[in-house]
Structure 1
Amino acid sequence: MVKIRLARHGVKKRPFYKIIIADSRFPINGRFIEKIGFFNPIASGKAEKLFIKIDRLKYWQQQGAQLSKKINFLIKKQTKNKL
């Protein structure tokens, strides 16, 4: 099954996450199909905290990709802030 999930990058105590499309059998930070955005939980000032390519997200959902719980939460939060 294809999943839309976070892959942790960055250094110790300074996390940075890439939002990726990956087969569920691959490790979290392993091989992935496509990168569709990022999430920076410690962004401050004018730095962008969350970026998602919505068109690619919708495409992969139509192809049957499942969202992880955290990605689902972030998408709801982002759409709520834009209203």
Structure 2
Amino acid sequence: MLKLRLTRTGRKKQPTYRLVVIEHSTRRDGRPVDSLGYYNPLTKESHFKVEKIQKWLQHGVQPSDTVASLLKKANIIE
């Protein structure tokens, strides 16, 4: 089963996250199927590829709770 999740990148104490489609049983920083954007929690900056996200959601990919809240804030999902 595929999920929309965040993978951590960046330095120690300065995290940034990438929004990826990944197999649900894969570790957090495992190899993603597709990369869909990024999120920086320190500056609240984000950039999402809306068309790709909607395509994956139509194919049945489930977002994690954190990703769902980020997408709601960005008005991508309801």
TM-score, normalising length from structure 2?
0.91
Output the CA distance in 2 between the equivalents of 1:53 and 1:3. 16
Output the CA distance in 1 between the equivalents of 2:73 and 2:60. 22
Question: What is the alpha-carbon root mean square deviation over aligned residues?
Answer: 1.5
Unmatched tracts of structure 2, length 5 or more: none
Q: Secondary structure at the match of 1:9?
A: strand
Q: 1:57 aligns with which of 24, 45, 53?
A: 53
Unmatched tracts of structure 1, length 5 or more: none
| 1:1-83 map, 5 Å | 1-43=1-43, 49-79=45-75
Q: Which has the higher helix share?
A: 1
Q: Cα deviation per residue 1:33-64 (whole Å; 9 max; x = unaligned)?
A: 01000000112xxxx70111111011111111
TM-score, normalising length from structure 1?
0.86
Q: Which has the larger Rg?
A: 1
| Identity score, percent | 32
Number of corresponding residues:
76
